Structure formats: structure tokens, C-alpha cells
Amino acid sequence: MNTTKKVSILFVCMGNICRSPSGEGVFQHYVAAKGYADQFDIDSAGTIAYHTGEPADARMREVAARRGYQLSSCARKVTEQDLDTFDLVVAMDRDNLNEMESMLNGPRQHVRLLGTFLDSYLGNDEAPCVPDPYYGGTAGFEQVLDMIESACPMLMSHCLELLNNK
């Protein structure tokens, strides 16, 4: 197998301090545990630049650390170049999906909701959204991690298909 081939995935939420850095950190952990870390480029971004340069929310980092995840990225704003170059862009909710679709002048097959990687959801129209935990308590941060963890097997399967088609 040619190990120079990689698949790139970008997780996107609004501020890039709760949900998307969690997607990045959890999925990095998952692919590393499966032995595929060298075949993935995983990143995260937000649709707003308000938190640019900041680490993930301290509450999110704390809840993630209890599960063994390190959230080490710094917030940045998604760019049009990101949307053109990443193999897969995973939005956490419809507002952020719509924002990226506006940037692209319409929907694209490689821009999907995380919920499409949960059992029995095929498209963005019916897929559940990952709720923003920012203004809530610990349970909201736990729910974010639960949803991301649940999506990892189907997400990895999809990414390995993309890799095999490169």
C-alpha cells in the first residue's frame, strides 16, 4: 500500500472551541487506535473568527480528558481554500453547514453533517445536529463526545473509501 496517500477531514462548528476541536481530537484518537494515523490529516475550524488563536473551551477539554482525549488545537476560521482542498468537511449543525454551502455557492457532496455518520441517517436533510454545549452544563459536553464517538466507525469507513479511491 502506498503510505503517501492521505485523506483529509475538517470538522467545523461555529467558534471552533467546543464541538469541532472535539471532533478533531476524538477522531485522531480513534484512527490512531486503529493504526491509520499516518493516512489521515485531521483538522478543525469555525465559521466565525471570534475565538481565533484560542484553545478549546476549558470545560470541553476537561470532559474530553476524562475520556482520554487531548484537545490541543487552536481556533481558526474556515476558509474557502479549506472547503476546496479537504476531502471531507464535517459540519456539526445546520447553521454551520448552511454557512459553508453559502461560501461554496451551494451544497457539495463532501460537506456533510456529523449526524450523517450515525446509524440510519443518510443525508444532511434528516441527520441530527450536534448541539452547542457552550451555554449549558457538563451534560452538554458529554453529549457532544457521545455523538462524535458514535459517528467514528462510519466516519472512518467513509474516509477509508475515499482513501482507496485516491
Is 2 part of a structural domain of the chain? no
| Segments forming the whole domain that contains residue 127 | 7-164
d(CA 132, CA 39): 30
Q: What is the reported pLDDT for 140?
A: 96
Taking phi over 0 as left and psi of -120 to 50 as alpha, with beta for the rest, 149 belongs to alpha
Is residue 132 part of the annotated active site? The answer reads yes
Is 92 part of a structural domain of the chain? yes
Instruction: Name the 3-class secondary structure at 69.
Output: coil
Is 102 part of a structural domain of the chain? yes
Is residue 19 part of the annotated active site? The answer reads yes
Q: How many Cβ atoms sit within 10 Å of the Cβ of residue 68?
A: 10
Could you report the average pLDDT of every consecutive run of 10 residues in the chain (166 residues)?
A: 78 97 98 96 97 96 97 96 97 97 96 92 88 93 98 96 92
Is 1 part of a structural domain of the chain? no
Overall number of domains in the chain: 1
Question: Pick the catalytic residue: 43, 93, 132, 152?
Answer: 132
Q: What is the reported pLDDT for 121?
A: 74
Is 100 part of a structural domain of the chain? yes
Phi and psi (nearest 5°) for 4? -80, -15
For residue 32, the domain's CATH number is 3.40.50.2300
d(CA 157, CA 35): 14
Is 35 part of a structural domain of the chain? yes
Q: What is the reported pLDDT for 4?
A: 72
Contact 71, 35 (CB under 8 A): no
Q: What is the reported pLDDT for 120?
A: 73
